[in-house]
Amino acid sequence: MINKKHITNRFLKYVAVDTESDPKNSAFPSTEKQWNLAKILVEELTKIGMQEIELDENCYIMATLPSNIDYLVPTIGFVAHIDTSPDFTGANVKPKIIENYDGKDIVLNEEKDIVLSPSYFDDLLQYKGQTLITTDGTTLLGADDKAGVTEIVTAMEYLIAHPEIKHGKIRICFTPDEEVGKGAHLFDVDKFGAEWAYTMDGSQIGELEYENFNAASAIVTIKGKIVHPGYAKGKMINSMLIANKFIAALPITDVPERTTGYQGFFHLHDMQGNVEETVLEYIIRDHDMNLFEDRKKFIQNIAFNFNKIYNQELVSVEIKDQYFNMKEKITPVMHIVHIAENVMKDLNITPIIKPIRGGTDGAQLSFKGLPCPNIFAGGHNFHGRFEYVPVESMIKATEVIIGIAQKITEKS
C-alpha cells in the first residue's frame, strides 16, 4: 500500500535538516533552524494537494484535508513535532540503512567502535528481516519525531491520491519546541478546529498511550564562598560538596534507570559548578498527582533542611510545572482510544496500551481542550546515538492514520 522507498526517502530528507531546540532560549521557536524544516513541509503539503496551509509567526504549521463524504463526521487531527532533542546533537545526521537486518550487532561507527547490539538493545530482535535506519554513532537520528511527521505527510498524500478511501475533514499540525516542553504552549486549539487528535510520537510498533507523567523541572542553586585554600579553615564554603550531599539526600532508587511503569523519579540531567556556586538541574516525574506533589515538596524540604543545618540561605530551589497526566481528560472520551486500538487490530498490529514514561504535546493539548492520545511512530532509543527506526514500522503507522480516517466514516 505505502511505497517503501518513497517513505524512506521522505524520512531521510527530514532528518538531514538540523532542528535541535534550545531549552535555555525563551524565544519561540527556540532555534531559528526549525524554520528550515517548516518551510520544506509547507512546500510538500502544497505539492501533495493539502488545503488551508498555514505557517504562523510561531512556526506552527496547520493544514486541512477536506472531507470527501456527503455526511457529517467528527473533524479529527494528527500532530507531530519538528524539533529534535537538545540532549544529543542532531546536526549533520548521517543515517545508515540496514536492509534485511540479520539480528546481529550493527557497527555504527568502526573508527569510534560504536556498536548497536541486540545483546544490550534486545528490542532489535523483533525486527529481524526488516529494514532499519540507524545513526552513524555520532548524532541522534531524529525519528523523534520526524518519523511522525513523515507518517502524517505520507498518509495525507495517500488519501489525496486515493479518493475512493472515504474520510471526513482532517486537520494536521506540526509543532516546534516539543522537546523543550513548549510545543503546545502557543497551539491555537480553536483555530485547529478538531474534535480530537492523535500525536504520532510514540516508540515501538503497537504503542497506544493515553496516560503520561505529571512533569516539573527543578533548578537547585547552591551558593558557596571562595577563600584561598591555605587560609580556608572555618571560612570556605564549597558549593560542590554541598551539592554532593544534596544529590545523596534524594532516594537512590528513584532514578530513571531503576524505575519502570507507573514509578516516578528524580532525574539529575545537568550540573555545573565551582566553589562559589553549583547548579543542579532536575526533572521530576510521577503519574500519580499526589505523589508528584509529594516529590516537589520533598526536594524543597531538602533545601530547607540544608539551610537550617548551615544556618544561612545557601540552597534555593525553583520548580516549574511542565505538563500533567492526560488520563484525566482522555478517560471521559475513551472511544477515541478504542478507535485507534481497533484499527491496529484490523491491521494485525498488537496494541500495546501503556503509560508514557514521558510526555507529548498531546498531554498539554488535552488540557487545552483537544483530547489527544499518542500513537507509535516506530523509533527506538530516542535522544541518543543508538536511535533507530524500522521502515516497516513507519509504514504501519501511516496505515494506522489512514485506517483511523476511514473508521471515523463508518455508520453504526
Residues tagged active-site:
83, 178
Alpha-carbon distance of 106 to 112, in angstroms, equals: 13
Q: What angle do CA 177, 182, 188 make, to 5 degrees?
A: 100
Residue 348 contacts residue 360 (beta carbons within 8 Å): no
Q: How many other β-carbons are positioned within 10 Å of the β-carbon of residue 145? A: 32
Residue 302 contacts residue 309 (beta carbons within 8 Å): no
Alpha-carbon distance of 264 to 249, in angstroms, equals: 17
Is 279 exposed, middle or buried (CB count within 10 Å of its CB: 0-12, 13-18, 19+)?
Answer: middle
Alpha-carbon distance of 374 to 353, in angstroms, equals: 10
Alpha-carbon distance of 90 to 19, in angstroms, equals: 7
* Parallel, antiparallel or unpaired: strands 196-202 and 76-81: parallel
Alpha-carbon distance of 130 to 100, in angstroms, equals: 5
DSSP state for residue 286 in the 8-state scheme: E
* Identity of residue 176: P
Residue 351 contacts residue 172 (beta carbons within 8 Å): no
DSSP state for residue 332 in the 8-state scheme: G
Q: What angle do CA 303, 219, 266 make, to 5 degrees?
A: 80
Alpha-carbon distance of 265 to 216, in angstroms, equals: 11
Neighbour order of strands in the sheet with 214-223: 265-273, 277-286, 214-223, 315-323
Residue located via cell numbers 463508518? 410
Alpha-carbon distance of 238 to 277, in angstroms, equals: 8
Contacts of 96 (CB under 8 A, 6+ apart): 106, 108, 133, 134, 135, 136
In 3-state terms, what secondary structure has residue 188? Answer: coil
Residue 269: what are its φ and ψ, rounded to 5°? Answer: -110, -10
Alpha-carbon distance of 356 to 258, in angstroms, equals: 16
